[in-house]
Amino acid sequence: MAKFQCPSFSSQATIDLDAIRANYRAIGQHVGPAYCCAVVKADAYGLGARRVSAALHREGCRNFFVAQLCEAVDLHHSLPLDSTIFILNGLDPHGVPMCADRGFVPVLNSDSQLRAWRDHAAETGRRLPAVLQFDTGMSRLGLDAATAHILAEDTDFSREINLRMVMTHLACAEDREGDANAEQLRRFRELSALFPGIPVSIANSAGAALSHAFHLDFVRAGIGLYGVPIAHIGIAPVVALRARILQIREVDAGTRVGYGLTYAAAVPQRLATLAIGYADGWPRNLGGVGAAFYQETRLPIVGRVSMDSMTVDISSAPAATEGDFVDLLGPRQTLDDVAADAGTIPYEILTRLGARHARAYIEDGITTMLMPGEER
């Protein structure tokens, strides 16, 4: 049965896969000879894990990190067999057989995950692949030093488990001045030395900008691939976002706008209601703070952001008409800018954009349009 395809759209995200590939090359060159792995969890930060991963595979990437088993299953069939999918959150209690049967590599973070994977290996008589994550100070996920020492002495462990990598994660990778990174690196070196010959990994995107001592064998890059600048590495922007003008009105001084009537026009103004709201991932707290752009012209958001729309002042853009698109993300307003206005980080802006935007994927200079709801 042919799936209904929406004939039109009111907002559009453009995702430049060529730029993602260029960013992969740039990070890889910067950290070389360390190998750059791609972190494609949370649907590649909302950009579409299947398409992003396929593009990165064409660029030579073979190691992909997701957070959850379901994400690994979703990605599995769109990646050639020479790829490895690592699961950062490790094992789901009910997902152990599936994880083993499909050849996914769990990052074992806790003693119970370790136990479950080893038991499954012993029961099925298979040597199962795994990554060990050690907690070196972030207190989020990871095994402790005592477990590391026990495992290093345990001959059954290496019979049951094919150890593919030992890793940890930095709590303050963006902070180049503090001593937290050096302390985590010191602790990690101590623990990883217990597993000689096993590849090691500590850096995320921000870690790639730290000194070479942090690059080790594998860098796990996410946000840098998706166009958020990293110090010292030339990163190209990846995402643009635009939304249509639904309605334009001229208002008198004193006219109030939006839920709660929180905004009052001080002078006569020309207002436009845009087809984007917080259900499209546009943060509600940008009401009265953020902006859209009509070409070079900044259009301040007036009043509250609604679920499906928000209103901007277009008094200084007389050429704008109903049906036109205005820019929300692009050269004049980056993910970093929007995150700063919304009091959050670009990761959150990106991962919340959601499924209601039409998507234009650019690869090899060719644009493929996907309408809202169409399978990515």
- The residue (of 54 and 67) whose beta carbon lies closer to ligand PLP is 67
Tell the smallest beta-carbon distance from residue 207 to ligand PLP (Å). Answer: 8
Examine residue 370 and tell whether it contacts ligand PLP (CB under 6 A). no
Residues 89 to 118 in contact with ligand PLP, rule: CB under 6 A? none
Examine residue 222 and tell whether it contacts ligand PLP (CB under 6 A). yes
Residues 147 to 186 in contact with ligand PLP, rule: CB under 6 A? 169
Among 88, 161, 210, 274, binds ligand PLP (CB under 6 A): 88
Residues 191-210, mask of contacts with ligand PLP (x by CB under 6 A)? -------------xxx----
- The residue (of 199 and 300) whose beta carbon lies closer to ligand PLP is 199
- The residue (of 225 and 302) whose beta carbon lies closer to ligand PLP is 225
Tell the smallest beta-carbon distance from residue 109 to ligand PLP (Å). Answer: 10
Tell the smallest beta-carbon distance from residue 303 to ligand PLP (Å). Answer: 34
- The residue (of 201 and 333) whose beta carbon lies closer to ligand PLP is 201
Among 22, 39, 55, 276, binds ligand PLP (CB under 6 A): 39
Count CB-CB contacts under 10 A for residue 165: 25
Asked if residues 321 and 310 have their Cβ atoms less than 8 Å apart, the reply is no
Encoded tokens for 121: 């290996």
Tell the smallest beta-carbon distance from residue 208 to ligand PLP (Å). Answer: 8
Instruction: Compute CA 268 distance to the chain's CA centroid, rounded to the nearest angstrom.
Output: 42
Examine residue 85 and tell whether it contacts ligand PLP (CB under 6 A). no
Stretch that binds ligand PLP, among 21-29, 214-222, 237-245, 303-311 (CB under 6 A): 214-222
- Active-site residue (options: 41, 278, 294, 361): 41
Stretch that binds ligand PLP, among 9-17, 153-161, 222-230, 329-337 (CB under 6 A): 222-230
Stretch that binds ligand PLP, among 69-77, 98-106, 219-227, 365-373 (CB under 6 A): 219-227
Q: Please confirm, yes or no, whether 3 is among the known catalytic residues.
A: no
* Cis check: omega of the bond before 33, within 30 degrees of 0: yes
Whose CB is nearest to ligand PLP?
222
CA distance 277 to 214: 40
Count CB-CB contacts under 10 A for residue 23: 29
Q: What burial class does residue 79 get, using C-beta atoms within 10 Å of its C-beta: 0-12 exposed, 13-18 middle, 19+ buried?
A: buried
- The residue (of 9 and 65) whose beta carbon lies closer to ligand PLP is 65
Examine residue 335 and tell whether it contacts ligand PLP (CB under 6 A). no
Examine residue 241 and tell whether it contacts ligand PLP (CB under 6 A). no
Examine residue 220 and tell whether it contacts ligand PLP (CB under 6 A). yes
Among 87, 209, 223, 317, binds ligand PLP (CB under 6 A): 223
Q: How far is CA 167 from CA 74, 219, 333, in A?
A: 24, 10, 35
- The residue (of 118 and 220) whose beta carbon lies closer to ligand PLP is 220
Tell me the CA end-to-end span of the chain in Å, nearest whole number: 18
* Active centre residues (catalytic): 41, 259
The footprint of ligand PLP (CB under 6 A) covers 39, 41, 88, 169, 204-206, 220-224
